[in-house]
Amino acid sequence: MLDLLFHNIGISTGSGRYDIGVKDGLIIRFEPVGAGEELPPAQETIAGEGRILLPGLVEAHIHLDKAFLTEKSPVAAGGLAEAIAVTRALKSHYTYEDISSRATRVLERSARFGVTSMRCQVEVDPIIGLQAMEATLALKEKWRDTIDLQLVVFPQEGIMQRPGTAELMEESLRMGADVVGGIPYNDCSANDHLKIVFDLAEKYGKPVDLHIDFSDNPNELNILMVADETINRGYQGRVAAGHVTSLGSVARDHALQYAEKLAEADLQIICLPATDLYLGGRQDEQAARRGLTPVKLLQAAGVNVTMGTNNIRNAFTPYGTCDPLDIALLLANTAQFGTTVELAKIMEMATSHAARALGLAQYGISVGANADLVLVQADRAEDVIIDRPPRLGVWKNGKKKSEMVVEARRF
C-alpha cells in the first residue's frame, strides 16, 4: 500500500496529468493518468484537479546569520562597500542566541514556502569567531527532518587581510561545515585567496562556493581564474559562484567566449537578483545597468545557472520574504523570461538546476527520488511563477511538514 497518492495532478515541467505515489519516503510511482493498471490503494489520496506538484524548492544561496538586521540598524543607502561596513559594525554585537533566533525565523518561513534544501553562507572571522558556525550547525541538526541544510564556511571579511581567518575556516570544516566559501573581491590578492580556498576544499574533500565578481566593472573577471583552477584540480561540477555580475557588463562577443570557458569548467552560476539589482549600477547616472549576470547568454553556452535569495532584510538587500518563488518572478521579469517555455526554464532554475548546483542526489519528481514535494493551487505551470500561489502542503521525505500557507508574507 502506498503512503500517499496524488491523483490526476499536474507537474511544473509539462502539461499532462499524473498519478504520483509515495512510499517509505520515496516516489515509487509516476504515471500519466489512466496509463497503467488500477490505482494502488493508499493511506491518503490527494485529488489533483486544479493543482500542481513541485519538487521541494531549493534555496541555493542565503545568509541566515545576517537576516533581519534592518530591525537593528537603519538601511544603508549606498553601495556594496557601505553594506559591508554597516554589517561589520553590527557583527561584533551578535550572540549565539541572537543568530539562532534570526536564522530560525528564516527557516520557519522558508519551510512554509516549500523549501526542503538550503545552502547557507556562514560567516567565520576573528570578529565573530565560530559563533555563527556553532549556531547554524545546531540548527542543521534540529531542522534535519524538514530542510537539508548545507553550511558554507564564508570569510566575508577576507582571509589574508584578516589574519586568523584561515585557521577558523579549517576549524569549521573539522566541526562539520559542508562547503568552502570565498570572496576574492574582498581581500588583498584574489589569486592567493582562491588558492587558500581550493587547498582547503581539496584537503577536506568539499565543494567550493564563491562570492565573486560583484561589480559592473567588465575587467573584474576573477571567474576566469576560478575556471582554470577548477579544471586544473579536476573540480568540474563542484564549484559554485554567486553574483558574477561584472560579466553582464562585458561586450557580447567576449562574454560568449568567457561563457564557454565557464561551461568547460562546469561552474554552477548562482544569480542573486534581489541583491544584484539593489546594489548594482550605482555609478550609472542614467540608464542604470541591471547588474545581473547574463543569464540567457550563459545558458546558451551550456552553463548551469540557478538563483538564490541571498539576503533577508539587511544592508545588502532591504527586502526578502523567504519565498524562492518571489525571487524566481523577480529574475523572470528582470532577465526577461516571459514565454511559456522561458517560464518553465525559470521553474527548473529554482528546482532541478539549483539541486544540481548543490550536488543534491535523488532530487525531482521521478521514480526513486526523495518525496520532497510542494502542492500548489494552479491550472498552468507558468502560473506557479506568476501567482506564487499558496502552498497547500509541503512534504519532506514523504512526511507532511506544513499545511496551507496564506498569511506567510506577513511577518
Complex with Zn ion: residue 293 or 310, whichever CB lies closer: 310
| Residue range at the interface with Zn ion (CB under 5 A); choices 44-52, 129-137, 198-206, 310-318 | 310-318
Query: CA–CA separation, 271 vs 326, rounded Å?
Result: 14
CB of 151 to Zn ion, least distance (A): 13
CB of 214 to Zn ion, least distance (A): 9
Kindly write out the interface string for residues 167-206 of this chain, putting x where it contacts Zn ion by CB under 5 A and - elsewhere: ----------------------------------------
CB of 63 to Zn ion, least distance (A): 6
Beta strand 268-271 pairing with 115-123: unpaired
Query: CA–CA separation, 325 vs 384, rounded Å?
Result: 8
CB of 183 to Zn ion, least distance (A): 9
Which of 12, 304, 310, 317: binder of Zn ion (CB under 5 A)?
A: 310
Kindly write out the interface string for residues 254-293 of this chain, putting x where it contacts Zn ion by CB under 5 A and - elsewhere: ----------------------------------------
3-state SS class at 183: coil
Complex with Zn ion: residue 275 or 402, whichever CB lies closer: 275
Told to check if 87 binds Zn ion by CB under 5 A, we report no
Complex with Zn ion: residue 23 or 91, whichever CB lies closer: 91
Complex with Zn ion: residue 85 or 367, whichever CB lies closer: 85
| Residue range at the interface with Zn ion (CB under 5 A); choices 12-20, 174-182, 296-304, 306-314 | 306-314
Give Cα 158 to chain centroid, integer Å. Answer: 22
Based on its alpha-carbon atoms, the radius of gyration of the chain, rounded to whole angstroms, reads 21
Query: CA–CA separation, 325 vs 30, rounded Å?
Result: 25
The set of cell numbers assigned to 84 is: 559591508
Residue with cell 528582470: 334
CB of 363 to Zn ion, least distance (A): 22
Residues in contact with 14: Cβ distance below 8 Å, sequence separation at least 6, in sequence order: 381
Complex with Zn ion: residue 146 or 275, whichever CB lies closer: 275
Query: CA–CA separation, 301 vs 299, rounded Å?
Result: 5
Contact (Cβ atoms closer than 8 angstroms) between residue 51 and residue 9: yes
Site for Zn ion (CB under 5 A): how many residues?
1
Tell me phi and psi for residue 320, to 5 degrees. Answer: 125, 125
CB of 308 to Zn ion, least distance (A): 7
N residues, the chain: 411
Query: CA–CA separation, 38 vs 370, rounded Å?
Result: 24
Nearest-CB residue to Zn ion? 310
Complex with Zn ion: residue 2 or 201, whichever CB lies closer: 201
Complex with Zn ion: residue 70 or 402, whichever CB lies closer: 70
3-state SS class at 210: strand
Beta strand 373-377 pairing with 391-396: antiparallel
| Interface residue list for Zn ion (CB under 5 A) | 310
